[in-house]
Amino acid sequence: MSVSPARSRRRPPAGRVTLRPAEAGDCRRIWLWRNDEETRRASLGAAPIPFDTHERWFARSLRSRARKIYVVLADGRASGVARLDLDEGQGTVSLHLAAEWRGRGVGPAAIEALAELAFGPLGLRSLRASVKRENSRSISAFRKAGFTLASEGEVLCLEKIRR
């Protein structure tokens, strides 16, 4: 039996996915993930971000009570970043993964872990995510994590309500 070339390039699925609060030392790694070309194409703001701009934003974000930033850990290794912006019982989710972890189930697992924190210790009532219509990977990840379509347009709004 032969294996097709596309199948042989598939990466194995990730094992356990967890989150840990971001720290000052994560700044550069998160900047590199955010400026990855594929991440920028999928982002609502696709322009590259200069490091000094990111560094100031990151330091403010770590001090902010209205923003939570987590490093995604897959099999114990840093594999992406999940951000949660808080606003009166609602959270807005943003996620991007390192290229080597895409397509391995890390996205949906990270979103589910973020939802557990949001609906548990953070006490939020709902989560929302804005995703470009053509970003099928992100749409799929959010749907696998239990998000449903809330509104359509150039950008889709997906949401998950605490039960």
Indicate the domain borders of the chain: 17-161
Q: Domain 17-161, what fold?
A: Aminopeptidase (3.40.630)
- Residue 46: beta bridge partners? none
Closest CA to 80 of 68, 92, 71: 71
CB 21 within 8 A of CB 68: yes
Closest CA to 91 of 162, 17, 163, 149: 162
pLDDT of residue 53: 95
Q: What is the pTM of this model?
A: 0.89
CA distance 108 to 139: 10
Task: Please report which helix (H) or strand (E) contains residue 91, including its range.
Answer: strand 90-97
Q: Band of the pLDDT at 7, cuts 50, 70, 90?
A: very low
pLDDT of residue 47: 81
User: For the chain, what is the mean pLDDT?
Assistant: 90
